[in-house]
Amino acid sequence: MVAEKPAVQRLGISLASYLPWAAYFPGWAARKAKEAGYSFLQVVSFRGVDPYVSLFKLPVKYWESAWNENTGLYSVISGKFRHDPKAPTIMDWVFFHPTGDWNYYQEYQESIGDFSLGSRQIVHHLKTSLAPNQLYEPNPGEWLTANEIIAKIRADSHCLVLDTYHLRRLARADEMVDKPQGLYSFPFSMLGNWPDSLRELLPHAAAIHVAPKRDDNELEKCLAGQYTELEEMMVAIKKAGFQGDYVVEATIGLRGLNPKKVVDTMARFHDWVAPRI
């Protein structure tokens, strides 16, 4: 039996960090997260996630639907034939419940709402208003500046989730297809540089997604003791006096096919994040 580390309050992890195994064995991932010292979960509507998530070993504080929703295998195939960059991929279909499975989603949302008092839904599109239990995650694909985001939310509210990866990345090709040709002819982000957007948005944040960049092995650099931009962000967030939650959202790609590797990496990353919050 593996000894559990003492839980670090305010530090949780997304089930997505344990991909691909969490997609079909979320209970296993939740158990490993608890052993690593995480104190709560963020769940995603993976195919293996039973609507009654109260069976998990950790409380669920945050939940979200699929990142790129699919309505079934047909939506993947038809999108491929249409060469639609926004269409769901085969991996979206493999990992996530189709949105057409209405009964699943109804039970999923009702179960989380009943089980975890105060659990909140993370949404990726900022509409006219947010429900009281919703948090918005700014990202370059929304084409909003920090000031525009603040103008759309209540000035005194803490309704944002700030993702350390999204604040630094540029818009993807699929996020630029609807933009006027020539005006946005190269990738960039309306959020601007991260120090400015972080400073403006942090007073409105309820949680931080601790997400390493995926294109320069930032996670491995952190674990190797190198100073990274992610560490610079963590220092800035702590210095600003942030008192909300931190949620690890990390991935090790194909190396995650080795379950021991993904478990070890997320345990080590817990130990890297904990003293920095």
Question: Using one digit for the tens of pLDDT, what is the confidence trace for 75-128?
Answer: 556 666 565 656 656 666 667 666 655 455 566 666 655 555 468 889 888 877
Instruction: Give dist(CA 112, CA 59) in Å, integer.
Output: 10
Of 102-116, 159-173, 240-254, 257-271, where does mean pLDDT reach its minimum? 102-116
List Cβ neighbours of 185 (8 Å cut-off, separation of 6 or more). Answer: none
Burial class (CB in 10 A: 0-12, 13-18, 19+), 221: middle
pLDDT surpassing 70 at residue 228? yes
Which of these, 160, 145, 173, 163, lies nearest to 247 by C-alpha position?
Answer: 163
- The topology under which CATH files domain 11-276 is TIM Barrel (3.20.20)
- Domain map (residue ranges) of the chain: 11-276
Separation between Cα atoms, residue 222 and residue 225, nearest integer Å: 5
Residue with tokens 């931190």: 246
Q: Residues 6 or more apart from 19 whose CB is under 8 A from it? A: 95, 251, 256, 262
